[in-house]
Structure 1
Amino acid sequence: MFDWMVWTLPTAVFFICVVLMLVGMTLWEIKSPTAMRKGFLPIATTRGDRLFIGLLIVAYINLAYLGLGEKFQTWFALQEEPSIWISFVLSMCVLVLVMRKG
C-alpha cells in the first residue's frame, strides 16, 4: 500500500511527530480550551492556529533543505549531502518557538 513512498527513518519520525502533536493538541484543547493571544505573529492566534502556522513553516523548511541539499554539498565541499536530521532538528526548534512565542 505504501510502496510508492520511500519511508526512511527521518520521514517516519517526522510524520509520527506530526500525528502525536495533533493528538496531543486535541487532548489539550479538550482539557483546557484556549484563548486568543498576540505574540510576534502579526495576528491574534489560538494554540491550534500557531500549530497550523508552525507546521506550514516546518514543511517549507524541510522542503527547502531537501532542495538545497546538493547545493550545500558543493558550497561547503562535503563528501555527501548533509543529514536530513539537521533540518528535522531545526524545524522542530522553529515549531517550538512559534508555539511558545507566536
Structure 2
Amino acid sequence: MFDWMVWTTPVAVFFTCIVLMLIGMTVWEIKSPTTMRKGWLPIATTRGDRLFIGLLTAAYINLAFVGLAGKIAEKFSLDSEPSVWISFALSMAVLALIMRKG
C-alpha cells in the first residue's frame, strides 16, 4: 500500500509528528475551545488556523531544502548533501513560532 513512497526515518518522523500534533490539537480543542486572536500574522486566527499555516510553512521549508540540498553541497564543497534533519528541525521551530506568536 505504501510502496509508492520512500519511507526513510526522517520522513516517518515528520509524518508521525504531524499525526501527533493533529491528535493533540483535537484533544486541546475539546478541553478548551479556541478564540480568535491577532498575533503578527496579518489576520485574526484560531489555533487550528495557525496549525494549518504552520504545517504548510513546514512543508515548504522541507521541500525547498530537499530541492536546494545539492546546490548547498556544491557551494560549500561538502562531500555529501546536508542532512534532512536540519530542515526538519528548522521547520518544527518555525511551526512552533507560528503557533505561539502568530
Q: TM-score range by the shorter chain?
A: over 0.9
What is the total number of aligned residue pairs between the two structures?
102
Q: Distance in 2 between matches of 1:91 and 1:28?
A: 22
TM norm structure 2: 0.99
Structure 1 CA distance for aligned equivalents of residues 99 and 8 of structure 2: 27
- Deviating beyond 2 angstroms after TM superposition, the runs of 4 or more aligned structure 1 residues are none
SS in 2 for 1:78: coil
Gaps of 5+ in 2: none
Q: Distance in 2 between matches of 1:77 and 1:10?
A: 24
Shift of 1:4: 1.1
What is aligned with 1:54? 54
**1:40 & 1:76 partners in 2: Cα distance?**
35
Q: What are the Cα deviations for residues 12-44 of structure 1, in whole angstroms up to 9, with x where unaligned?
A: 000000000000000000000001000010000
Alignment of 1:18-97 (within 5 A): 18-97=18-97
User: Equivalent pairs: percent with the same residue?
Assistant: 75
SS of match in other structure, 1:74: helix
Structure 1, unpaired ranges of 5+: none
Q: SS of 1:7's equivalent?
A: coil
CA RMSD of aligned residues (A): 0.4
- Structure 1 SS opposite 2:54: helix
In structure 2, distance between residues paired with 1:42 and 1:4 = 38
Partners of 2:3 and 2:44 in 1: CA distance: 42
Cα distance in 2, alignment partners of residues 2 and 60 from structure 1: 22
Separation of aligned partners in 1, 2:65 and 2:37: 31
Q: Which amino acid aligns with 2:80?
A: E
Q: Matches of 2:53 and 2:3 in 1, distance apart?
A: 30
Instruction: Name the TM-score, length of structure 1 as normaliser.
Output: 0.99
SS at match of 1:38: coil
